[in-house]
Amino acid sequence: MANRKKYLVLGFLAFLWPASGTQGEEKEEQTCRLLGKFDLNGYVDAKNHTLVIGGLFPIHSRTIPANESILEPVSAKCEGFNFRGFRWMKAMIHTIKEINERKDILPNTTLGYQIFDTCFTISKAMESALVFLTGQEENKPNIRNSTGAYLAGIVGSGGSSLSIAASRILGLYYLPQVGYFSTCSILSDKFQFPSYIRTIASDKFQSEAMVRLIQHFGWVWVGTIAADDDYGKYGVKAFKEQMESANLCIAFSETIPKVYSNEKMQKAVKAIRSSTARVIVLYASDIDLSPFVLEMVYHNITDRTWIASEAWITSALIAKPEYFPYFGGSIGFAIPRTDIPGLKEFLYDVHPSKDPNDVLTIEFWQTAFNCTWPNISVPYNVDHRVNMTGKEDRLYAMSDKFCTGEEKLEELKNTYLDVSQLRITNNVKQAVYAMAYALDQLSRCEEGQGPFMPENTCAYLPDFEPWQLMYYVKTLKFNTHDGKKIEIDQNGDVFGYYDILNWQLDDNGEIAFVKVGEYKFAPDKYELVFKKNSTIFWNTESSRLPHSVCTDVCPPGTRKGIRQGEPICCFDCIPCADGHVSERAGQRECDQCGEDYWSNEQKSMCVLKEVEFLAYDEALGFTLVILSIFGALVILAVMIVYVIYRQTPLVNANDRELSFLIQVSLIITVLSSMLFIGKPYNWSCMARQVTLALGFSLCLSSTLGKTISLFFAYRISISKTRFISMRPIFRKIIVLISILVEIGICIAYLILQPPRVYKNMESQNIKIILECNEGSIEFLCSMFGIDAFLALLCFLTTFVARQLPDNYYEGKCITFGMLVLFIVWISFVPAYLSTKGKFKVAVEIFAILASSYGLLGCIFAPKCFIILLRPKRNTDETVGGRVPAVDRSIQLTSASVSSELNNTTVSTVLDE
């Protein structure tokens, strides 16, 4: 599967690669260029046509696995000719020719076409969509594709996964895309797929129809099998939701792989064989279903009733007489059939001799008649699939018999020429007509009465914007050739009805699709109707209506899903949802646990939820406490050193009192982290942030007093004029004002919107996280905003004065301290937002301790090193940076200026 995803990416994305412009005097514009070309097959008729309609059809059923030894991106080739997809493609061409011959639709406009084979793979659908938009050789969308004609829209892609992939690209440019075979309910989401509509009903309606069918026959125990793609997954998802709302039970739910996997296939087979469910819903396309059908035959699994989705109920690929013992009696929903005049004759009008370059027609002819067309190297039966033994088959079968060209199509019996079940084929016709009617309405717009602003303007053929055509497509209403009304709703879906078909054998031993009823769905009406006197064939030993029962009593921890009023009581043991329990065996409903309780792992009893907070006795909390106490002791030791050596020049330099204030504030910030540990209370919630904010405010305002001194010292050193410096008292005033402002904000915070203890039950269902609700985010931001502002001022002033020739580099030390502070708290924000529970608190504590340790190390570690280990450098001459009087105005240092300013009464310095 990993390889498959890798080659899907290589298949269509690696073709586009940025080619950087060269660096020179003129910078070239960067563009994208193709590293390779897409290997696409199809049909084109765009010459002498006003507009082109694109088409995407699964003419092949799969791609050949890529050669892993080739590292370059290579567009995959296709295999497995699909007669059904070939007929759909021919139906589009027939419809376009029919529209061009009509005079009531687009009378002065002719439509061309450009059709690509998607090979029923996402990679090819993406390649085709890119070619439609870019013309393959171009590096930006031009909505004119490689034919040169204007591209009006796309019909396709012939499968839900393919349509989803293509629509994600086409929707970017609002290019209309009309689906004919994609029923996945997610395509109704106009936010994801704004330009997608379809002429086939959404799986939402089919899922409702299936549940109503199950209810009608009294089945309550049903299994599901889905293809491993968007169609299968979303289809079963919608079906399960409908089953749950109807109080019905799902016995098992398995997927069948898109790429054959023996392990996954055997898992699905085992689920079917071991389950007591005898009714199974099968959501898959006929192509994906083929290996699964072979597994059912191989393991001889019978006595099952299959509920079929519209994708395979009428497929000749599955409806073969040899499969009837295993899939006979299947009942499911099909698109209404109809007859298309002239299509049969058009389908017969195909021959390889008409165009020797038409490789698809040649491959069709070779595959249909089991012969080789002369002088052509087109294989007709190439198969790289993995068989049931797990080995890969690689068959390049070329028949020894050459085609003569005289072969008779009338003698063939294949899906291509079978016009008795024109269902999806009719949807193709309606999709083309939807595009044509929308273009016709656009062309009939009268100036001044148009739908577009300003001034009610119109769009004109052939040059219009895709979104302008999309306006008409979204509001489309028209009647089909057989009198049915097509109306597109706001989600791009249509209403109508399904035929309910039952597989039966006719007199010739062939499988007949017998209509036994209808399911009608409209905006205000949903109705399941069975035909009177209709006979349904059931593939059971008794040929009677099958029933699914489950006899095991549901153990504690599960609930019994019972459908009341049915003749057979079937129940499924559905595990109780998280937070719900069933204490007794066989309980019908699960009981919800109380607010402070949660279910145990077995869902058999309610237990008290675990209360989580960062506790002192756990390893993380204990470690943080140790770090906090250790930090406080280190700061206290620094303070003692400063007290002992308070008369030394280095301690006196640049305001000794501010140094002591910084040390006190660091003790406060380090110890404040302990308020974050332990069970939170209202008082601790109020104290923690306030204490932290005040501690940092005292630290940073004191540091600001120092940095301003350094700033003035730097200005003195470079100025040649009189400069008035700052008195020591002014530094204390800065500290006082900063603290008073911070205290005022904190008091308002605690009075108006104080933090409170909060039980957080949303983050984790099984735990109650005790945390502090910080109250007002505005106040909190204001408190720490003051600190951030002070830190920024400290950084700016010291950064300016960093070149001051200070012997002990106090300016540089403070600069590095501020940088550490910024780095810690900038890193803290994303880490804090991405964590939950007690780890969120731990992140905040780490940030507090890291910033405190950083400031301590950057500001005081160098001075303590000199004081304790290099006392000879702690002298007036060294600290003061004594120089001759002639050079003093130039070589003043931060320490000398601070010492002199502290000892002078007149704080002026005169330059020479």
42-65+74-200+341-351+422-487 adopts what CATH topology? Answer: Rossmann fold (3.40.50)
Tens-place pLDDT, residues 719-767:
544 444 556 677 778 888 888 888 888 888 888 888 888 887 777 777 8
Cβ-defined contacts of 564-571 (< 8 Å, 24+) = 566/218, 566/220, 567/218, 568/218, 568/220, 570/219, 570/220, 570/221, 570/249, 571/220, 571/221, 571/249
pLDDT at 854: 86
pLDDT more than 90, % of the chain:
24
> Mean pLDDT score of the chain, rounded to an integer?
80
State in Å, rounded, how far the first CA of the chain is from the last one. 82
Please answer whether residues 308 and 332 qualify as being in contact, where contact means their C-beta atoms are separated by less than 8 angstroms. yes
Give the residue with greater pLDDT, 780 vs 313: 313
Token pair, residue 387, equals 């068989």
Dist CA 739 CA 732 (whole Å)? 11
The residue-averaged pLDDT of 178-187 equals 92
pLDDT at 37: 72
- Inter-CA distances, 577 with 584, 598, 779, Å: 16, 11, 41
3-state SS class at 281: strand
Give the residue with greater pLDDT, 272 vs 684: 272
Tens-place pLDDT, residues 662-679:
888 888 888 888 888 888
Please list, in sequence order, all residues whose beta carbon lies within 8 angstroms of the beta carbon of residue 407, skipping any fewer than 6 positions away.
365, 368, 369, 371
- Kind and range of the H or E element at 686? helix 682-718
Tens-place pLDDT, residues 549-600:
665 667 888 887 665 544 344 566 788 888 899 888 778 788 888 888 888 8
Tens-place pLDDT, residues 600-616:
888 888 888 888 888 88
**Residue ranges of domains in the chain:** 42-65+74-200+341-351+422-487, 203-334+495-530, 558-608, 619-871
pLDDT at 885: 35
Dist CA 522 CA 496 (whole Å)? 6
b/e per residue 780-810 (b: at least 16 CB within 10 A)? bebbbebbeebbebbbebbbbbbebbbbbbb
Dist CA 884 CA 887 (whole Å)? 6
3-state SS class at 491: coil
pLDDT at 889: 36
Instruction: Provide φ and ψ at 660, rounded to 5°.
Output: -65, -40
> How many other CB atoms are found less than 10 A from the CB of residue 719?
13
CATH architecture of 619-871: Up-down Bundle (1.20)
Angle between helices 466-474 and 424-443 (to 10 degrees): 120
Q: What angle do CA 506, 323, 204 make, to 5 degrees?
A: 90
Please answer whether residues 848 and 669 qualify as being in contact, where contact means their C-beta atoms are separated by less than 8 angstroms. yes
Tens-place pLDDT, residues 365-390:
988 888 888 877 666 555 444 444 34
> How many other CB atoms are found less than 10 A from the CB of residue 441?
18
b/e per residue 894-903 (b: at least 16 CB within 10 A)? bbbbbbbbbe
Dist CA 686 CA 688 (whole Å)? 6
pLDDT at 584: 86
Please answer whether residues 608 and 593 qualify as being in contact, where contact means their C-beta atoms are separated by less than 8 angstroms. no
Dist CA 833 CA 302 (whole Å)? 56
pLDDT at 888: 38
Q: Which CATH superfamily is domain 203-334+495-530 in?
A: Response regulator (3.40.50.2300)
Shared fold status for 42-65+74-200+341-351+422-487 and 203-334+495-530: yes
Q: Is the confidence at residue 883, as pLDDT, over 50?
A: no
Q: Is the confidence at residue 137, as pLDDT, over 80?
A: no
Dist CA 847 CA 615 (whole Å)? 18
What region, left, alpha or beta, does residue 422 occupy, with left being phi > 0 and alpha being psi -120 to 50 degrees?
A: beta
Token pair, residue 687, equals 């104290």
Token pair, residue 212, equals 């109503």
Dist CA 242 CA 205 (whole Å)? 10
Please list, in sequence order, all residues whose beta carbon lies within 8 angstroms of the beta carbon of residue 359, skipping any fewer than 6 positions away.
41, 378
Confidence of residue 148 (pLDDT cuts 50, 70, 90): low
Give the residue with greater pLDDT, 301 vs 135: 301
Q: Find the largest Cα–Cα distance for the chain.
A: 125
pLDDT at 378: 66
Q: Which residue has the tokens 């055509």?
A: 469
pLDDT at 712: 64
Tens-place pLDDT, residues 469-527:
999 998 889 988 888 888 888 889 998 889 999 999 988 888 999 999 999 988 888 88
